[in-house]
Chains A and B, each alone.
Chain A
Amino acid sequence: MGRYIIRRILWMIVVLFFVSLLTFLLFFLGGSNPAKAIAGTHATPQVLAKINEYYGFNKPLWTQYGLYLWHLVHGNMGTSYQTQLPVATAILQRFPATMMVALWGIFFELAIGIPVGMISALKQYSIRDRVFTVFSLLGIAAPSFWLGFIFLFAFAFKIPIFPLGGYDGLLHPIYGVLPGLVLGLGGAAWYSRMLRSSMLDILGADYVKAARAKGLPERTVVWRHIMRNAWSPIVTLLGMDFGWFLGGVLVIEIVFSIPGIGQQAWNAIQTQDRPMIMGTVLFGALLVTVSNLVVDIAYTWLDPRVKYR
């Protein structure tokens, strides 16, 4: 197991390296001029030349990338061209807002998705199953910016239960409820469909029939024999979602005025703020790879048949 984890971590470094290389190259393929993005469209060629010199934009591509990597392995992610803040500081400043929404999102995904999936599977083709099916499909189909505005309008403007967007620190989690709900509803729909189908597969299995035939109470059958085996796909989804959510969900952050990582990355892309773009992409990639690793390790605990060498 220990060797497995070390091998996975080494692979993570390889993945991150290629992610950084690709992002860097894409930045240059666009044919943009970062000096112009820094100084604005009114700046004269002399001013642009001075900025090119200052940031080394006139150096060859590979020298620039090499310098970036050199700084990166020394723990320096660079300084934002726009705000002059260290990239790591900027990301960590924005991370709590994103994390709050992500946690609420995961909470709602599970709190809605799992019961709905279970009921749908255990009472297949009942009225409840059909109603849930319809709402699941709606949840998957509804664009989150639309749903976000509807929720804001209904539960913050007309009936002011929740704040009208914004973020006020981790001590005020109420700001994360509506964005988390919108985020979670879309996910819950997937979770419930996934759980329903994986439970339906298992329901017909011989060992379930055997458990029922033994006269085990239904509760034990469901929790010990069915759910234990139905968790795997849910955990996989959860791991991917968590990494993705923590990378910042732009649409949700924009609709709900959340000053998170997503909005920061969006601004960086619009202003060609290369260190900021690189930093955010690497941070996001790191989160996704780490959460995947955690999920894979969690399998061994969920399903003793899974072993890694």
Chain B
Amino acid sequence: MKTRRTLVASVALALLLALAVGLAACGSSSGSSSSSSPGTGTPKSGGTLRVTFQGEPTGLDPAIAWEVESWSIERLTYQTFLTYADKPGTAGTQLVPDLAAEVPSAANGGITQGGKVYTFHLKPGIKFAPPVSTPVTASDFKWSFQRMMKAPLAPATFFYTGIVGAQAYIDGKASSISGFKVVDPQTVQITLQKPDTSFLFAMTMPFTSVMSKAWVAKVGKQINRKPLGTGPYTITKWTPGQEITATKNPNFASQGAQGQQYVDNMDFTFAANPGTALLKLERGQADVLGDGIPPADYLRTTQSSQWSKYVVNAPQIMWFYTFMNVLEKPFDNVKVRQAINYAINTQKIQKLLAGQAASLNQIYPKGMPGHQDGKTYYTYDPAKAKQLLAAAGFPNGFTTTFYADNVDPMPKLAQSVQSDLAAIGITASLKIMDRATYWNFISLKKSHAAIGFSDWYQDFPDPSDWIGPLFTNPIDGGANSSFYENPQVTALYNASGSQLDPAKRLQMFEQMQDIIMQDAPTAPMYQAVFNGMHGADTGGFYVHPVWTFNFQSYWKTNGQ
């Protein structure tokens, strides 16, 4: 009796499995045929671009929102003085004017007093979208900027506290920001306390978007759900949790150059499971995967002759690294930190992350100015690592705790590093923490987190965004988890703020990298690669190095 039942059960199970495998196998031969290749072809107008995202924007108030989903949708509606070239790769990190007539420079008189004063001229004829439709003036910029600086939940005011009078305004000691001057209706002049050549990059961030005072007054608290700006599209409908619909802004046409308006409508669907979204794309029901290809489907997709041509891989301007806390023994010893740099097998890690990681042996990732192709400071060399440990007084290694958060791929990479460390005699016990707890934990001195993982995504493509937060000013609660400080680096960093010659400035940042890699407070591990994918009927798709998506630049080849 018993055996017969087991037999029936196993036969049924085998049948079900065969069905599942069979279905999966025929998956690669289905879907509609293709007619375009990425980034080429003639742009076409009309149709609806359908984008899937798992996450929903938390809100579209430019003063507050700060995630990929929010920014890529928010930027359809809101614009700033400056932005980045509408191109893939390193070319896309070039500053270009958005609402400004030109990018301020010393040559055109936009940057004066050695990098302290920045003048922006507004393009003529800019209007807010309907139903406001009023002309945009310099006062609108000042009003929007001050609104952002005063917003209680604004997360990024620190990029702008270098402006004269900004802190006083935040603290309520001044009624306006004295360093943000409206010279005439078309001109804004911003004065900084000290020269900072990276300031132009801060002016590309959506936090500095121009808003309509009248519209904000009209919609009140609803402004984070009902955005209105000057950009190519307007948000016409937002069904919470489900979708956002955007349509062309008729007032945009007069702006010219930056940003296009190919499709008539855009449809963003949320709560979309990335695996199911890929099936939708293959069925022709979605055009762009907002979250990219799910890791589990990467090999299947890139090995399929039908679908691989719609995959667009782009290195992200970010780095994943191991931090070593220079305040904690034995990582206060530079030889120990260098030994760790030699001990970690980064090639093994790239294999673990098949297709989603590019090698990185320096602190600046590819795409970031200052990155030098092929530059390597440490190569995997356990023997050398052991020598350095012995020289540091640890011939038999030591015991430590290695910290990581619980979001894939951190736990599996932590195991890989754990075994690398074991190979040179270091016994590391792993402490895997919940993500929200983790980032707070490693930022505090009292946690005594000696070694662990961290990552940093660009705020803007300039090496100052790496050196400033990660390698200077080791304060509690900041991002410098190594608590590293070197007077030489700090001096160079401060001096770079007033270096107006881009080439010389870059040299300074290369020099800072040399010093940091010698001091080894961090061990670079890899740079993430975004596995983007678009549908068969989508034209002009590319992955932007800063924004990830520039939806206004994509079109539908079938015009539908």
Contact status B59-A84, CB under 8 Å: yes
B150 shortest CB reach to chain A, Å: 11
Which residues on the B side are within 8 Å of A85 (C-beta)? Answer: 240
With beta carbons under 8 angstroms apart, the residue of A40, A165, A168, A270 that contacts B273 is: A165
Q: Is B475 in the interface zone, CB < 8 Å from A?
A: yes
Q: A41-B479, A134-B9, A164-B285 are in contact. Are A255 and B224 (CB under 8 A)?
A: no
Q: A82-B58, A138-B13, A257-B276 are in contact. Are A130 and B271 (CB under 8 A)?
A: no
A97 shortest CB reach to chain B, Å: 7
Contact status B59-A138, CB under 8 Å: no
A280-B269 Cα distance, complex, nearest whole Å: 23
Q: Is A157 in the interface zone, CB < 8 Å from B?
A: yes
A-B contacts counted at CB < 8 A amount to 153
Q: A42-B469, A263-B271 are in contact. Are A134 and B8 (CB under 8 A)?
A: yes
Query: Which residues of A125-146 have CB atoms within 8 Å of chain B's CB atoms?
Result: 130-131, 133-135, 137-138
Contact status B283-A270, CB under 8 Å: no
A241-273 to B contact mask, C-beta < 8 Å, 1/0: 000000000000111111100011001001110
Which residues on the B side are within 8 Å of A271 (C-beta)? Answer: 436
Contact status B276-A152, CB under 8 Å: yes
Q: A135-B12, A256-B276 are in contact. Are A32 and B436 (CB under 8 A)?
A: yes
Query: Which residues of B230-283 have CB atoms within 8 Å of chain A's CB atoms?
Result: 240-242, 269-273, 275-277, 279-280, 282-283
Nearest neighbor of B67 in chain A, beta-carbon distance: A40
Which residues on the B side are within 8 Å of A137 (C-beta)? Answer: 9
A37-B23 Cα distance, complex, nearest whole Å: 41
Contact status A45-B478, CB under 8 Å: yes
Stretch from A48-56, A182-190, A284-292 that touches the partner:
A48-56
Contact status A164-B59, CB under 8 Å: no
Q: A32-B436, A32-B437 are in contact. Are A51 and B276 (CB under 8 A)?
A: no
Contact status B157-A47, CB under 8 Å: yes
- By size class, the interface of chain B is 35 or more
A152-B20 Cα distance, complex, nearest whole Å: 11
Query: Which residues of B392-436 have CB atoms within 8 Å of chain A's CB atoms?
Result: 434-436
A40 shortest CB reach to chain B, Å: 6
Q: Is A210 in the interface zone, CB < 8 Å from B?
A: no
Q: Is A150 in the interface zone, CB < 8 Å from B?
A: yes
Nearest neighbor of A263 in chain B, beta-carbon distance: B271
Which residues on the B side are within 8 Å of A157 (C-beta)? Answer: 27, 30, 279, 282-283
Q: A30-B434, A32-B434, A51-B153 are in contact. Are A134 and B12 (CB under 8 A)?
A: yes
A83-B27 Cα distance, complex, nearest whole Å: 38
Q: Is B5 in the interface zone, CB < 8 Å from A?
A: yes
B60 shortest CB reach to chain A, Å: 11
Q: Is B131 in the interface zone, CB < 8 Å from A?
A: no
Which residues on the A side are within 8 Å of B478 (C-beta)? Answer: 44-45
B7-41 to A contact mask, C-beta < 8 Å, 1/0: 01100110010011001101100100000000000
Contact status A165-B157, CB under 8 Å: no
Q: Which secondary structure characterizes the binding site on chain A?
A: helix
Q: A32-B440, A42-B469, A164-B285 are in contact. Are A254 and B273 (CB under 8 A)?
A: yes
Q: Is B374 in the interface zone, CB < 8 Å from A?
A: no
Contact status B16-A83, CB under 8 Å: no
A302 shortest CB reach to chain B, Å: 33
Q: Is B156 in the interface zone, CB < 8 Å from A?
A: yes
A145-176 to B contact mask, C-beta < 8 Å, 1/0: 00001101110111010001111100000000
Contact status B155-A40, CB under 8 Å: yes
Q: A32-B434, A93-B240, A256-B276 are in contact. Are A38 and B155 (CB under 8 A)?
A: yes
Q: Is A66 in the interface zone, CB < 8 Å from B?
A: no
A84-B19 Cα distance, complex, nearest whole Å: 46
Q: Is A225 in the interface zone, CB < 8 Å from B?
A: no
A48-B156 Cα distance, complex, nearest whole Å: 10
With beta carbons under 8 angstroms apart, the residue of B12, B58, B475 that contacts A83 is: B58
Contact status B279-A153, CB under 8 Å: yes
Q: Which of B12, B273, B279, B440 has the most CB of A within 10 A?
A: B273
Q: A135-B12, A253-B271 are in contact. Are A42 and B279 (CB under 8 A)?
A: no
A84-106 to B contact mask, C-beta < 8 Å, 1/0: 11000010011001000000000
Q: Which of A32, A97, A272 has the most CB of B within 10 A?
A: A32
A193-222 to B contact mask, C-beta < 8 Å, 1/0: 000000000000000000000000000000
Query: Which residues of A2-58 have CB atoms within 8 Å of chain B's CB atoms?
Result: 30-34, 36-48, 50-51, 54
Q: Is B125 in the interface zone, CB < 8 Å from A?
A: no
A138-B152 Cα distance, complex, nearest whole Å: 54
Contact status A154-B23, CB under 8 Å: yes
Nearest neighbor of B277 in chain A, beta-carbon distance: A257
Not counting A256-B273, A259-B270, a sample of 14 additional A-B residue pairs whose C-beta atoms are within 8 angstroms of each other reads A44-B158, A45-B476, A47-B157, A82-B58, A84-B221, A134-B9, A138-B12, A152-B279, A158-B26, A164-B283, A255-B276, A259-B56, A259-B242, A264-B241
Cβ contacts A to B, 14 pairs, < 8 Å: A30-B436, A40-B155, A42-B459, A42-B479, A45-B475, A47-B154, A50-B152, A130-B4, A152-B276, A157-B30, A158-B27, A253-B271, A255-B273, A263-B271
Listed in ascending order, the chain B residues whose CB lies under 8 Å from chain A are: 4-5, 8-9, 12-13, 16, 19-20, 23-24, 26-27, 30, 55-56, 58-59, 66, 152-158, 161, 221, 224, 240-242, 269-273, 275-277, 279-280, 282-283, 285, 434-437, 439-441, 443, 459, 469, 475-479
